[in-house]
Homo-oligomer: A and B are copies of this chain.
Protein backbone atom coordinates (compact mmCIF):
# COMPACT_ATOMS: atom_id res chain seq x y z
CA UNK A 1 0.00 0.00 0.00
CA UNK A 2 1.24 3.46 -0.92
CA UNK A 3 -0.09 6.80 0.30
CA UNK A 4 -0.46 8.82 -2.89
CA UNK A 5 -0.89 12.58 -2.90
CA UNK A 6 -0.48 12.96 -6.63
CA UNK A 7 2.83 14.69 -5.97
CA UNK A 8 6.40 14.09 -6.99
CA UNK A 9 7.46 12.29 -3.81
CA UNK A 10 4.62 9.79 -3.47
CA UNK A 11 4.75 8.99 -7.20
CA UNK A 12 8.42 8.16 -6.84
CA UNK A 13 7.48 5.93 -3.90
CA UNK A 14 4.96 4.05 -6.06
CA UNK A 15 7.70 3.44 -8.62
CA UNK A 16 10.07 2.21 -5.89
CA UNK A 17 7.44 -0.13 -4.40
CA UNK A 18 6.69 -1.53 -7.84
CA UNK A 19 10.39 -2.02 -8.51
CA UNK A 20 10.50 -4.20 -5.36
CA UNK A 21 7.83 -6.44 -6.89
CA UNK A 22 4.83 -5.35 -4.80
CA UNK A 23 1.30 -5.28 -6.13
CA UNK A 24 0.28 -1.66 -5.51
CA UNK A 25 -2.76 -0.40 -3.62
CA UNK A 26 -2.80 3.39 -3.64
CA UNK A 27 -4.63 5.49 -1.07
CA UNK A 28 -5.48 9.18 -1.42
CA UNK A 29 -7.41 11.57 0.77
CA UNK A 30 -9.96 14.18 -0.12
CA UNK A 31 -9.44 16.45 2.87
CA UNK A 32 -11.22 19.61 1.94
CA UNK A 33 -8.22 20.83 0.00
CA UNK A 34 -8.74 24.15 -1.66
CA UNK A 35 -7.99 22.51 -4.99
CA UNK A 36 -8.74 19.13 -6.46
CA UNK A 37 -5.73 18.93 -8.77
CA UNK A 38 -3.80 16.66 -6.50
CA UNK A 39 -6.65 14.14 -6.44
CA UNK A 40 -6.86 14.25 -10.23
CA UNK A 41 -3.11 13.71 -10.41
CA UNK A 42 -3.34 10.77 -7.94
CA UNK A 43 -5.99 9.15 -10.16
CA UNK A 44 -3.91 9.68 -13.31
CA UNK A 45 -0.91 8.16 -11.57
CA UNK A 46 -2.92 5.14 -10.33
CA UNK A 47 -4.02 4.51 -13.92
CA UNK A 48 -0.54 4.95 -15.32
CA UNK A 49 0.89 2.47 -12.79
CA UNK A 50 -2.07 0.09 -13.21
CA UNK A 51 -2.50 -0.30 -9.45
CA UNK A 52 -4.63 -3.17 -8.06
CA UNK A 53 -6.95 -0.61 -6.45
CA UNK A 54 -6.95 3.15 -5.93
CA UNK A 55 -9.02 4.25 -2.94
CA UNK A 56 -9.96 7.85 -2.18
CA UNK A 57 -11.18 8.48 1.35
CA UNK A 58 -12.97 11.70 2.20
CA UNK A 59 -11.78 13.09 5.52
CA UNK A 60 -13.10 16.13 7.24
CA UNK A 61 -10.08 18.12 8.38
CA UNK A 62 -11.96 21.32 7.65
CA UNK A 63 -14.18 20.71 10.69
CA UNK A 64 -11.03 20.73 12.79
CA UNK A 65 -9.32 23.68 11.08
CA UNK A 66 -5.88 25.06 11.82
CA UNK A 67 -4.04 25.12 8.48
CA UNK A 68 -3.62 27.28 5.37
CA UNK A 69 -4.24 24.16 3.27
CA UNK A 70 -7.71 23.59 4.68
CA UNK A 71 -8.68 27.06 5.94
CA UNK A 72 -8.82 30.34 4.09
CA UNK A 73 -5.37 31.59 5.02
CA UNK A 74 -2.81 32.77 2.49
CA UNK A 75 -0.23 30.24 1.34
CA UNK A 76 3.26 31.76 1.90
CA UNK A 77 5.11 32.66 -1.30
CA UNK A 78 8.72 33.10 -2.41
CA UNK A 79 10.25 32.15 0.94
CA UNK A 80 13.90 31.24 1.08
CA UNK A 81 14.88 27.68 1.90
CA UNK A 82 16.04 28.58 5.39
CA UNK A 83 12.68 30.10 6.33
CA UNK A 84 10.94 27.06 4.87
CA UNK A 85 12.85 24.45 6.80
CA UNK A 86 13.55 26.17 10.10
CA UNK A 87 10.02 26.79 11.29
CA UNK A 88 6.69 24.98 11.26
CA UNK A 89 4.75 26.67 8.43
CA UNK A 90 1.07 27.61 8.49
CA UNK A 91 0.50 25.05 5.71
CA UNK A 92 1.06 22.40 8.41
CA UNK A 93 -2.11 20.35 8.82
CA UNK A 94 -2.42 19.19 12.45
CA UNK A 95 -1.64 15.48 12.80
CA UNK A 96 -2.12 14.96 9.08
CA UNK A 97 0.34 12.12 8.57
CA UNK A 98 -0.96 10.47 11.76
CA UNK A 99 -4.48 10.49 10.35
CA UNK A 100 -3.33 9.35 6.90
CA UNK A 101 -1.25 6.50 8.29
CA UNK A 102 -4.10 5.44 10.59
CA UNK A 103 -6.40 4.95 7.63
CA UNK A 104 -3.62 3.19 5.75
CA UNK A 105 -3.22 0.89 8.75
CA UNK A 106 -6.95 0.10 8.75
CA UNK A 107 -6.91 -0.73 5.05
CA UNK A 108 -3.66 -2.68 5.39
CA UNK A 109 -5.29 -4.81 8.05
CA UNK A 110 -8.28 -5.55 5.83
CA UNK A 111 -6.01 -6.38 2.86
CA UNK A 112 -3.57 -8.28 5.10
CA UNK A 113 -0.86 -6.06 3.71
CA UNK A 114 2.12 -5.40 5.93
CA UNK A 115 4.06 -2.80 3.94
CA UNK A 116 2.76 0.77 4.11
CA UNK A 117 4.79 3.14 1.95
CA UNK A 118 4.80 6.89 2.57
CA UNK A 119 6.86 9.54 0.84
CA UNK A 120 7.96 11.47 3.90
CA UNK A 121 11.27 13.18 3.80
CA UNK A 122 13.47 14.40 6.62
CA UNK A 123 15.77 16.48 4.39
CA UNK A 124 13.42 18.94 2.66
CA UNK A 125 10.75 18.31 5.26
CA UNK A 126 9.54 21.89 5.29
CA UNK A 127 9.26 21.95 9.06
CA UNK A 128 6.54 19.34 9.53
CA UNK A 129 7.03 17.41 12.80
CA UNK A 130 5.29 14.34 11.40
CA UNK A 131 7.89 13.89 8.65
CA UNK A 132 10.71 13.03 11.06
CA UNK A 133 12.23 9.55 11.38
CA UNK A 134 11.42 9.37 15.11
CA UNK A 135 7.74 9.98 14.33
CA UNK A 136 7.72 7.18 11.74
CA UNK A 137 9.42 4.77 14.15
CA UNK A 138 6.90 5.61 16.90
CA UNK A 139 3.97 5.15 14.52
CA UNK A 140 5.28 1.76 13.39
CA UNK A 141 5.66 0.61 16.99
CA UNK A 142 2.12 1.76 17.81
CA UNK A 143 0.73 0.17 14.64
CA UNK A 144 1.93 -3.26 15.69
CA UNK A 145 0.11 -2.91 19.01
CA UNK A 146 -3.05 -1.50 17.43
CA UNK A 147 -3.97 -4.26 15.07
CA UNK A 148 -4.94 -7.91 14.84
CA UNK A 149 -1.95 -8.73 12.69
CA UNK A 150 0.34 -7.13 15.27
CA UNK A 151 -1.34 -8.89 18.21
CA UNK A 152 -1.46 -12.27 16.56
CA UNK A 153 2.18 -11.78 15.67
CA UNK A 154 1.93 -13.35 12.23
CA UNK A 155 3.13 -10.32 10.35
CA UNK A 156 4.84 -7.18 11.42
CA UNK A 157 3.46 -3.96 9.96
CA UNK A 158 6.23 -1.90 8.43
CA UNK A 159 6.06 1.80 7.61
CA UNK A 160 8.30 2.09 4.58
CA UNK A 161 9.90 5.47 3.92
CA UNK A 162 12.28 5.07 0.99
CA UNK A 163 12.68 8.85 0.56
CA UNK A 164 13.42 9.62 4.20
CA UNK A 165 17.06 10.56 3.71
CA UNK A 166 17.01 11.72 0.08
CA UNK A 167 16.94 15.35 -0.99
CA UNK A 168 14.60 16.48 -3.76
CA UNK A 169 17.27 16.15 -6.46
CA UNK A 170 18.05 12.58 -5.38
CA UNK A 171 14.33 11.72 -5.36
CA UNK A 172 13.92 13.08 -8.89
CA UNK A 173 17.02 11.21 -10.08
CA UNK A 174 15.74 7.97 -8.53
CA UNK A 175 12.28 8.36 -10.06
CA UNK A 176 13.65 9.26 -13.47
CA UNK A 177 15.82 6.14 -13.36
CA UNK A 178 12.62 4.13 -12.66
CA UNK A 179 10.80 5.77 -15.56
CA UNK A 180 8.50 8.15 -13.64
CA UNK A 181 6.86 10.78 -15.84
CA UNK A 182 6.83 13.79 -13.51
CA UNK A 183 4.66 15.78 -15.92
CA UNK A 184 1.60 13.93 -14.54
CA UNK A 185 2.40 14.77 -10.90
CA UNK A 186 1.16 17.82 -9.01
CA UNK A 187 2.99 19.56 -6.15
CA UNK A 188 1.71 23.16 -5.99
CA UNK A 189 -0.15 24.38 -2.89
CA UNK A 190 -1.84 27.21 -4.78
CA UNK A 191 -2.47 26.33 -8.45
CA UNK A 192 -4.41 28.41 -10.99
CA UNK A 193 -7.97 27.46 -11.87
CA UNK A 194 -6.53 25.50 -14.83
CA UNK A 195 -4.29 23.52 -12.47
CA UNK A 196 -1.04 25.26 -13.43
CA UNK A 197 1.57 25.49 -10.67
CA UNK A 198 2.15 28.89 -9.05
CA UNK A 199 5.94 28.53 -9.01
CA UNK A 200 6.24 30.46 -5.74
CA UNK A 201 4.87 28.37 -2.85
CA UNK A 202 7.25 26.27 -0.73
CA UNK A 203 6.29 23.13 -2.61
CA UNK A 204 6.95 24.65 -6.07
CA UNK A 205 10.23 26.18 -4.94
CA UNK A 206 11.53 22.88 -3.54
CA UNK A 207 10.43 21.07 -6.70
CA UNK A 208 12.13 23.58 -9.03
CA UNK A 209 15.33 23.49 -7.01
CA UNK A 210 15.26 19.66 -7.14
CA UNK A 211 15.07 19.51 -10.93
CA UNK A 212 17.85 22.08 -11.28
CA UNK A 213 20.14 20.22 -8.86
CA UNK A 214 19.36 16.87 -10.49
CA UNK A 215 20.19 18.34 -13.89
CA UNK A 216 16.90 17.03 -15.25
CA UNK A 217 14.49 19.22 -17.27
CA UNK A 218 11.43 20.29 -15.20
CA UNK A 219 8.27 19.20 -17.03
CA UNK A 220 5.97 21.16 -14.67
CA UNK A 221 3.55 23.61 -16.28
CA UNK A 222 3.77 26.92 -14.40
CA UNK A 223 1.38 29.87 -14.54
CA UNK A 224 3.82 32.36 -16.09
CA UNK A 225 5.68 29.92 -18.28
CA UNK A 226 3.60 26.96 -19.41
CA UNK A 227 6.64 24.97 -20.56
CA UNK A 228 9.60 25.75 -18.35
CA UNK A 229 11.26 22.44 -19.20
Chain A residues packing against B (C-beta within 8 Å): 55, 57-61, 63-66, 88, 92-99, 102-103, 105-107, 109-110, 129-130, 132, 134-135, 138-139, 141-143, 145-148, 150-152
Contacts and interface: CB of A to CB of B under 8 A. Distances in A.
Contact of A146 (B55, B98, B110): B98
Nearest to A97: B146
25 contacts: A64-B103, A66-B110, A94-B105, A94-B147, A94-B148, A95-B102, A95-B109, A95-B143, A95-B147, A96-B106, A98-B102, A98-B105, A98-B106, A98-B142, A98-B146, A99-B99, A99-B103, A129-B145, A129-B146, A132-B145, A135-B145, A138-B138, A138-B142, A139-B142, A142-B142
Nearest to A100: B102
Point out which of A92, A93, A107 has the most chain B C-beta atoms below 10 A from its C-beta: A107
Copies in the assembly, this chain:
2
Point out which of A61, A66, A94, A105 has the most chain B C-beta atoms below 10 A from its C-beta: A94
Given A58-B58, A94-B105, 18 more contacts: A55-B63, A59-B59, A64-B106, A65-B110, A66-B109, A88-B152, A94-B110, A95-B143, A95-B147, A96-B106, A98-B106, A99-B103, A129-B145, A129-B146, A130-B146, A138-B146, A139-B142, A141-B142
